Amino acid sequence: MKKIVRIAFMSIAALSLVFVASCGSKKSTKTVYEPGPTPDGEVEVSLPCTGPQFFSTDKVFRGTASGESLDQMTARKKALSNARAQMATDINSVMQVVGDNYIKSSEVNNKEEVLERFEQNSRTIVNQKLRGVRQICEKATKVKETGKYKYYVAIELSGAELVDAYNETLSKDESLKTDYNYEKFKKTFDKEMDNFTNGR
């Protein structure tokens, strides 16, 4: 009888160890979904400067695009212009929510006027910062059929750099500076960046 109890106890202990070990080894990872097989009659195309490594993160905004022209430099300019336009849309989308949430949580008298000033500053800042984006990928090709040049580019802009630019502008704005709180603004921005990248 004692032998049976001892064997049962050892079995339970062993199972407990396996359970604890398996729980401890699990890592929280983001689910990555496979795109599935390529449909019949179609050929998979791999585009330069695209893919998950060129997605925006909670630290940087990224934009990818291509441009095509008979002139090589025009193709490049088109690609950069398209990438900046895509990035501007993403930044404006994030900053609109940041502005709304930040001002709603602030104790200001005329929230509508303050929000309007914030949006005006936002447009100016985004336009300025987009001129100084960092190019992280570029590839040039020539299309055989048309003889046109095609450029693929990817660009990025640091979220911290954007916050610094906002801080500098907002802290000088007469309508905003009385109630402006940098730490609160940055916290609101960081939260929305996380929502933006995790909600894709």
In tens, the pLDDT along 136-149 reads 999 999 999 999 99
Q: Could you tell me if residue 25 is inside a domain?
A: no
Residue 173 lies in a domain: yes
Q: Are 99 and 181 in contact (CB under 8 A)?
A: no
Q: Regarding predicted confidence, which is higher, 133 or 118?
A: 133
pLDDT of residue 39: 86
User: Is 27 part of a structural domain of the chain?
Assistant: no
Residue 193 lies in a domain: yes
pTM exceeding the 0.85 threshold for the entire prediction = no
Is residue 63 included in any domain, yes or no? yes
Number of domains in the chain: 1
* Distance from C-alpha of 37 to C-alpha of 121, rounded to nearest angstrom: 47
Asked if residue 130 is part of any domain, the answer here is: yes
CA 33: distance to chain centroid?
A: 19
